[in-house]
């Protein structure tokens, strides 16, 4: 006889003890039996029994989660603070389940940034998205000041994939400064990583720097069946459910999809996915930032995506970061114009799914930054043949 159980990993107290999931929350669903407070999740109430005889109905979901980036304990996203043995409160909101629950008050505390550091070793655990209290979160604050309404688990997605800054952060930093004058008070403003929600909501959330006189596409509304995070991404494995895309699109993978019959990168090639146009324009913009740094700001720079703050001085132009006291020299010749362009470039490229989340917004941010740099660099925008 096989004992059938449903494992519900809800509540904050779920732990792994001796390889067996356990908690104090009533959560056993047995055939012919009622839940009993304090009984471990997967142990039947009577024996003898063999572990292989215990059927866990959501074992596949647990397996998928365990293999996902949300559960990867070896990833930099969860190991960055190992030396400190604690995660700074503001970082813990998204880099630990415990910090996330504290931020939304799901642990009984007042909502807000945790009042103390969170121990390392945690991940985005089951209790992050399956906490019953999450259903009471009805809006999420974005760095731009936007309060966006949410329902259910979407609150978790938008809390942690919105970035840490917005276009207003850049606007405030450069206000009143000469566009092309290097200013040692300026430093690179990082929009952070995996900024899918910021891209998806587009100009409505104003994550990018918006150039004066331009309009920007808002939230990217897709077909109704795929209008939320979980309607495209499996909530546990995080993989894109590409079969749904094939209802309307052709291709072998999401990056093959093209939403326009126009070429935005000047190549004229519309046989490839829109991702190619975004990637090409992003590469062009980074090249122009480098050229501007050398020719206008007067200090060449190099970009290193593996080391914060990414942009470093290269005074001798050897394509390698200058060194001082055994460390690379952080770039400090930013002008307002260059900072605006670099910020938009980083925001777009920080979201690897920009081509699906909001391609019009990504292309607009890139185009406007390219056009802004083109003036002082003497680049003819018409000859580039780009489309906005």
pLDDT digit string, tens, across residues 101-110:
999 999 999 9
**Whether 120 contacts 82, CB under 8 Å:** yes
For residues 42, 45, 46 and 50, what is the CA-based torsion angle, rounded to 10 degrees? 0
Task: Please report the pLDDT score of residue 9 as a whole number.
Answer: 42
The span from the CA of 130 to the CA of 110, in Å, is 19
Task: Please report the pLDDT score of residue 321 as a whole number.
Answer: 97
- Mean pLDDT of the region 233-242: 94
% of the chain surpassing 90 pLDDT: 79
The span from the CA of 251 to the CA of 244, in Å, is 12
SS3 100: helix
Task: Please report the pLDDT score of residue 55 as a whole number.
Answer: 79
| pLDDT tens string 78-97 | 999 999 999 999 999 999 99
The domain segmentation of the chain, as residue ranges, is 3-57, 69-160, 167-298+333-384
**Whether 354 contacts 333, CB under 8 Å:** no
The span from the CA of 175 to the CA of 281, in Å, is 27
pLDDT of 375 > 90? The answer is yes
* Assigned token pair, 77: 């996203």
pLDDT of 187 > 90? The answer is yes
Q: How many CA atoms lie within 13 A of 336 on its CB side?
A: 16
| pLDDT tens string 35-59 | 444 444 556 667 777 877 777 888 9
pTM of the model: 0.86
The span from the CA of 261 to the CA of 217, in Å, is 18
- Mean pLDDT, the chain, rounded, equals 89
Task: Please report the pLDDT score of residue 222 as a whole number.
Answer: 84
The span from the CA of 210 to the CA of 17, in Å, is 51
- Mean pLDDT of the region 144-159: 96
C-alpha separations of 248 from 82, 134, 222, 223, 230 in Å: 46, 33, 11, 10, 19
The span from the CA of 230 to the CA of 211, in Å, is 32
Which of 33-47, 229-243, 297-311 has the least mean pLDDT?
33-47
Print burial letters for 11-33: b (CB count within 10 Å at least 16), e (below 16). bbebeeeeeebbbebebbebeee
pLDDT of 329 > 70? The answer is yes
Q: Which helix (H) or strand (E) holds 363?
A: helix 359-377
pLDDT of 204 > 90? The answer is yes
Task: Please report the pLDDT score of residue 27 as a whole number.
Answer: 35
pLDDT of 311 > 80? The answer is yes
Residue 274 banded pLDDT, cuts 50, 70, 90 = very high
Cβ of 229: how many Cβ atoms within 10 Å? Answer: 19
pLDDT of 294 > 70? The answer is yes
Cβ of 242: how many Cβ atoms within 10 Å? Answer: 15
| pLDDT tens string 3-17 | 444 444 433 334 333
- Mean pLDDT of the region 271-299: 98
- Helices 196-205 and 359-377 cross at an angle (nearest 10°) of 70
DSSP bridge partners of 17: 20
SS3 135: helix
Residue 131 banded pLDDT, cuts 50, 70, 90 = very high
């Amino acid at each position: 006889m096989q004992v059938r159980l449903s494992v519900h990993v809800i509540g904050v107290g779920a732990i792994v003890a001796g390889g067996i999931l356990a908690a104090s929350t009533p959560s056993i669903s047995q055939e012919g039996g009622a839940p009993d407070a304090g009984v471990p999740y997967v142990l039947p109430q009577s024996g003898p029994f063999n572990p292989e005889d215990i059927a866990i109905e959501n074992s596949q979901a647990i397996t998928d989660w365990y293999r996902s980036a949300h559960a990867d304990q070896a990833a930099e996203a969860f190991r960055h603070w190992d030396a400190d043995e604690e995660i700074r409160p503001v970082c813990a909101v998204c880099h630990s389940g415990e910090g996330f629950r504290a931020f939304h008050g799901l642990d009984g505390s007042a909502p807000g940034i945790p009042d103390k550091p969170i121990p390392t070793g945690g991940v985005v655990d089951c209790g992050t998205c399956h906490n019953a209290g999450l259903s009471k979160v009805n809006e999420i604050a974005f760095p731009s000041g936007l309060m966006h309404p949410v329902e259910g688990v979407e609150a978790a997605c938008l809390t942690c994939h919105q970035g840490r800054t917005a276009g207003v952060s850049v606007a405030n930093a450069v206000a009143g400064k000469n566009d092309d004058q290097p200013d040692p008070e300026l430093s690179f403003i990082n929009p952070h990583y995996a900024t899918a929600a910021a891209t998806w909501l587009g100009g409505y959330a104003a994550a990018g720097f918006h150039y004066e006189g331009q309009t920007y596409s808002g939230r990217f509304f897709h077909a109704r069946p795929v209008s939320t995070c979980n309607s495209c991404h499996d909530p546990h494995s995080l993989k894109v459910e590409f079969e749904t895309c094939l209802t309307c699109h052709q291709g072998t993978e999401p990056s093959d999809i093209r939403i326009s019959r126009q070429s935005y990168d000047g190549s004229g090639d519309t046989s490839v996915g829109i991702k190619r146009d975004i990637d090409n324009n992003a590469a062009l913009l980074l090249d122009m930032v480098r050229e501007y740094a050398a020719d206008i700001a007067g200090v060449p720079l190099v970009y290193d995506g593996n080391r914060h703050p990414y942009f470093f001085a290269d005074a001798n132009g050897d394509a390698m970061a200058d060194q001082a006291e055994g460390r690379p020299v952080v770039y400090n010749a930013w002008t307002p114009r260059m900072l605006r362009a670099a910020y938009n470039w980083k925001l777009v490229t920080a979201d690897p799914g920009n081509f699906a989340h909001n391609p019009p917004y990504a292309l607009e941010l890139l185009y406007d930054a390219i056009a802004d740099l083109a003036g002082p660099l003497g680049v003819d925008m018409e000859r580039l043949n780009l489309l906005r």
